[in-house]
Amino acid sequence: MKKVLIVDDEPLARAIIKSFLQAHPDLELVGECGDGFEAAKVIAETNPDLLLLDIQMPKINGFELLEILPDPPAVIFTTAFDEYALKAFEVHALDYLLKPFSAERFGQAIEKWKSVAAENKKPAGSIHYQVPDEQYRVVIKDGSEIKIIPTAEIHYIEAYDDYVKIHTGKGTHLKKKTMSHFESSLPSQQFIRIHRSFILNIQELTRIESFEKNSYIAILKSGARLAISRTSYAELKAVLGV
């Protein structure tokens, strides 16, 4: 029997989905969660086959929940907002149910998932997408703890093999994302890539020093010293208006 978890912050929405699931006795409802933090814990405990997942929720949204899961289950989004449909399919969601949806439409989505599951198929490709709100915050999974870091608190981001190191005044955090991802998702008026290994929050910059011939170092308020590539130096000066 396949296991299903409902994740939605609205009790009425969860009740409606539960009533629709009664038409599918071959599915086991292993729980229902009202926010992404709770869902991450229940997913680790129950290992569901399918998430019926809302997007806009308190604490962390549905996309952020998927991002911190090491091996996300299949997903059918259930949401009142249509602007996230493209993002939903970029993360390989099987379907996107726009509230209010009917029992018939819900059943179609479930049958689609069963068909895919029966063939043991997984969508091809890796998940690469911009999380809504990531220009304002970054969600980090640190062991069993989930941390939300406002982007304003980021001093700089450093390349680190298949990860990046996110440096803040409170410490350093690892996240499995690329530098290119953050270069495109963080607000360009605040963050600039100054080197293949560094993205700088220009609010943290105190001065630029010459290092060697035609090379420069960015000095941050924290005392950190970051190399500036020759190609990025002109762009940094333009952003600073010098």
pLDDT digits (tens, 9 = 90+) for 187-242: 888 999 999 999 999 999 999 998 877 789 999 999 999 999 988 998 898 888 77
Domain limits of the chain?
2-118, 137-240
Its pTM stands at 0.68
Q: So what CATH class is 137-240?
A: mainly beta
Q: What is the 3-state secondary structure (H, E, C) of the chain?
A: CEEEEEECCCHHHHHHHHHHHCCCCCEEEEEEECCHHHHHHHHHHHCCCEEEECCCCCCCCHHHHHHHCCCCCEEEEEECCHHHHHHHHHCCCCEEEECCCCHHHHHHHHHHHHHHHHCCCCCCCCCCCCCCCCCCEEEEEECCEEEEEEHHHEEEEEEECCEEEEEECCEEEEECCCHHHHHHHCCCCCEEEEECCEEEEHHHEEEEEECCCCCEEEEECCCCEEEECHHHHHHHHHHHCC
CB atoms under 10 Å from CB of 100, counted, come to: 9
What is the percent of the chain with per-residue pLDDT over 90, rounded to a whole number? 59
pLDDT of 128 higher than 60: no
pLDDT tens digits, one per residue of 227-239: 999 889 988 988 8
Determine the average pLDDT of the residues in 26-40.
95
Would 2-118 and 137-240 be classified into the same CATH topology?
no
CATH no., domain 2-118: 3.40.50.2300
70 preceded by a cis bond (ω within 30 of 0): no
Of the candidates 47, 73, 79, the one whose C-alpha atom is nearest the C-alpha of residue 61 is: 79
- Say how far apart CA 172 and CA 240 lie, in whole Å: 26
- CA 42 – CA 103 distance, rounded (Å): 26
Q: Are 97 and 145 in contact (CB under 8 A)?
A: no
